[in-house]
Structure 1
């Protein structure tokens, strides 16, 4: 039940990694023709279909989300004031990077408290519309609680023209259906293959709004791909995903991700079907939990459980102390229940490889 962090990889990914090795052995340096000419476009098209993005060529890739975010931040003039709006519930990599940036005199960060969730949309939108922010950043599903940010897509779609808006969709991508068609020209959407797609670490992506003219200071040689053979003067940027491209990376995860996309297509597995399956699993879990009377795993400690409208694919329990959470985490692991803990918070995830008759009694026994 740690599948909000590390999903088990489908068996087909082993063959995908071997295919990557064989391509490298067979093609040597010409493997780049296959990767950039076939594999990356296939991945971009699969992501675009999943998120209903109109332009697959506007989807940049990198080994991790942090690289993409920092490349975007580097596009702002480092000599000018930079005001950033976010929440107090963002993932560690972004939160740490902001804390470091705040040490600079020209950078100001406003963090809107995520709690109470019922008023988050109103409070965040008010801040966004009443102050001059160059960058706004918020998660569609918060990593520590599983709660969805209410109305985030609408808020992003109505953003001020001068604000670049990033949606961290990592805990939503391939879990809940997400339709970005109406905001594709307004937002940067960030996610990756490590969690719900089940393709492992090493491949993240960021959709780029149409007509983006930002010039990242942190730019890699892949961004110069169009001019490798005939260089021109100056540092130029293309009008597609290469604007935010980095440098050499391991593409085995790309092969794994494509294999999973293809497997799910053949089997008729859609994000909508996955979401409905997980909703049913979460419902069975809650029924078993209510019957068990567990001292920590109960409705009082469960953070926000509006499953249909406002929740991702994992539950978070506030165990009230680090010691309580640590003891429970160890007890569950002793019963072969894999989950994870963040301070006093215990997280339990749900996936399509959980049996459809699973009642999760093993979680509550002992």
Structure 2
């Protein structure tokens, strides 16, 4: 039940790694033609299909989302004032980066409290619509609670044109059905294959609005891939995903991600069917929890907003202290139940590979 952190990999990923090794060993430098000409476009189409994104060629790739987000930040002139709007519930990577940026005298960060969740959209949008911010950043599903930001996509559609906006979709991608068609040219959406896709680390992406003219300061030689043999003077940028491309990376994660996407397609498994299956798991868990009256795993300690429509694929419980969370985690481990914790918070995740006959009652005994 730590699948929100690390999904188990389908067996097809082993063949995918071997296929990448064979291509790299046999084709040497010629492998780039296959990777950029076949594999990357196939991955982009798969991601675009999962997100109902109309422009697959606008999906940039990198080993992690932090690289992509910082490349976006590097497009701002850090000699000028930079005002950033975010929440107090963002993942460590972005939160740490903001703390470092705030050491610069010209960077201002405003963090809107996520709780109470019911009023978060109004409070966040009020700040966003002020027009003060160059960059806004918010998670679709918060990593610490599992709560989905209510109405975030609709809110993003109304953002000021003067504000660039990033949606961190990592805990929603391939978990919650997501339709980006209305905001594809208004926001940057970032996620990756490590969690719910089940393809492992090292393959992340960020969608780029088609009208984007930003010139990242952090830019790599892949950004010139289309013009490598006829390099012009100066630093030019393409009008597709290569505008945010970096440099040499290991593409075995790309092969793994493609293998999983192909597997789900061949089995007729969609994000919607996964989500509905997980909702069934969660409902059985909640029923067992209500029957058990556990001292820690109960409704009073569950961080939630709308359990039916406004939640990701894991539950988070307040345990009162880090010691309580650690003790409960160990008790569950003794029952062969794997989970994880963040200080006093204990997280329990749900996945497609949990059998339908699992009642979850053994967690509470």
Question: So what's the TM-score if we normalise by structure 2?
Answer: 0.99
Q: Which residue of 1 aligns with 2:191?
A: 191
Partners of 1:305 and 1:166 in 2: how far apart? 23
TM superposition shift of 1:285: 0.4
TM superposition shift of 1:364: 1.2
Q: Which residue of 2 aligns with 1:239?
A: 239
SS in 2 for 1:228: helix
Q: Which residue of 2 aligns with 1:308?
A: 308
Partners of 1:332 and 1:223 in 2: how far apart? 47
Q: Which residue of 2 aligns with 1:19?
A: 19
Partners of 1:334 and 1:68 in 2: how far apart? 39
Q: Which residue of 2 aligns with 1:328?
A: 328
Mark the CA change 1:156 to 1:305 in structure 2 (over 3 Å): closer, same or farther. Answer: closer
Unaligned runs of 5+ in 1: none
TM superposition shift of 1:58: 0.2
Partners of 2:243 and 2:179 in 1: how far apart? 24
**1:174-185 alignment runs, 5 A limit:** 174-185=174-185
Deviations 1:7-61 (A, max 9, x none): 0000111101100111111111101111000000000000001101111000000
Partners of 1:190 and 1:293 in 2: how far apart? 39
SS in 2 for 1:170: coil
Q: Which residue of 2 aligns with 1:144?
A: 144
Q: Which residue of 1 aligns with 2:92?
A: 92
Deviations 1:100-120 (A, max 9, x none): 000000100000000000000
Q: Which residue of 1 aligns with 2:260?
A: 260
Partners of 2:19 and 2:284 in 1: how far apart? 39
SS in 2 for 1:100: helix
SS in 2 for 1:310: coil
8 Å CA contact 1:279–1:307 kept in 2: the answer is no
Count of paired positions: 365
Partners of 2:293 and 2:188 in 1: how far apart? 43
**1:271-350 alignment runs, 5 A limit:** 271-304=271-304, 306-350=306-350
TM superposition shift of 1:217: 0.3
Partners of 1:66 and 1:95 in 2: how far apart? 11
8 Å CA contact 2:131–2:160 kept in 1: the answer is no
TM superposition shift of 1:226: 1.5
Partners of 1:144 and 1:301 in 2: how far apart? 14
Q: Which residue of 1 aligns with 2:28?
A: 28
TM superposition shift of 1:224: 1.1
Deviations 1:143-198 (A, max 9, x none): 00000001111111100010000000000000010000000010000000000000
**1:195-210 alignment runs, 5 A limit:** 195-210=195-210
Structure 1 segments (4+ residues) deviating >6 Å: none
TM superposition shift of 1:362: 2.2
8 Å CA contact 1:337–1:362 kept in 2: the answer is no
TM superposition shift of 1:314: 0.2
SS in 2 for 1:307: coil
TM superposition shift of 1:361: 2.0
Question: So what's the TM-score if we normalise by structure 1?
Answer: 0.99
Q: Which residue of 1 aligns with 2:41?
A: 41
Q: Which residue of 2 aligns with 1:172?
A: 172
Unaligned runs of 5+ in 2: none
Partners of 1:155 and 1:288 in 2: how far apart? 36
**1:71-110 alignment runs, 5 A limit:** 71-110=71-110
TM superposition shift of 1:305: 5.2
Partners of 1:48 and 1:38 in 2: how far apart? 16
Partners of 2:353 and 2:79 in 1: how far apart? 51
Computed over aligned residues only, the root mean square deviation of the Cα atoms, in angstroms, reads: 0.7
